[in-house]
Amino acid sequence: MPFFQRLLRDTEAARAGLVTAPIIQGCLAGRVSLPSYVAFLTEAYHHVRHTVPLLRACRAALPARHAPWLGPALDEYVEEEQGHDEWILDDIAACGADAQAVRHGRPGHATEVMVAYGYDTIARGNPLGFLGMVHVLEGTSVALALQAADQIQAHLRLPDRAFSYLRSHGTLDREHTAHFALLMDRIEDPADQAAIVHAACAFYRLYGDVFRSLPLPEPAEALA
């Protein structure tokens, strides 16, 4: 079995645990509110702003056997991920919230722990484990982002400019996922594979904790 297919199989239960987060299920069912959406964007900003630094840290820590082929792929990711945190601040402003307060604020605990685990995986464990985080964030985006954006916009009547992050990421990550699968299938060392699967399972749980930390819509808000 190609490694990418095994990665999907071995993380299936962890992925299902993330999707069952009440706020995700509520959003897909049309139970949304502006405070919940802004809270989601706020936490997204505080982890997305670390995407490029994490990719660069992973690139710098690559074992010599992987650097010649995986290094350029990580460089491409860095180029494509530049500025996405600013998209989120623009979305927050389009929702009528204070984007600069978010920029200068602190993440919630769950987000802070997830980001810290990313840096720790690179620095203390196998740096290839960080690819488990890439898999979780991009796979979740492809599966949920576009559908969630449609539901939120339909119920809250927000302008298109409030969804640049969700819609652009949902579309872009479809392309990334196909490329990511090809990269994963080139990883043959069992220890590297195990590190990626382990980290992906951990990140599904940690990212799920981020969603579970968000405020649920109040009944009156959801009906508005």
**Domains of the chain by range and CATH?**
24-216 (1.20.910.10)
Distance of alpha carbon 52 from alpha carbon 189, whole angstroms: 26
Summarize the confidence of residues 35-60 as an average pLDDT: 97
Distance of alpha carbon 192 from alpha carbon 195, whole angstroms: 5
- Whether residue 94 is predicted with pLDDT greater than 80 in this model: the reply is yes
* pLDDT tens track for 102-122: 999 999 999 999 999 999 999
Q: What does the pLDDT read at residue 142?
A: 66
Lowest mean pLDDT among 77-81, 174-178, 219-223: 219-223
- Whether residue 219 is predicted with pLDDT greater than 70 in this model: the reply is no
Contacts made by residues 123-128, CB under 8 angstroms, sequence distance 24+:
123/57, 123/61, 125/195, 125/199, 126/191, 126/192, 126/195, 127/57, 127/58, 127/61, 127/62, 127/63, 128/58, 128/62, 128/63, 128/66, 128/187, 128/192, 128/195, 128/196
Lowest mean pLDDT among 125-134, 149-158, 167-176, 188-197: 167-176
Determine if the pTM surpasses 0.85: yes
- Whether residue 71 is predicted with pLDDT greater than 90 in this model: the reply is yes
Summarize the confidence of residues 203-224 as an average pLDDT: 83
- Whether residue 16 is predicted with pLDDT greater than 60 in this model: the reply is yes
Summarize the confidence of residues 63-88 as an average pLDDT: 94
Buried b (16+ CB within 10 A) or exposed e, 151-161: bbbebbebeee
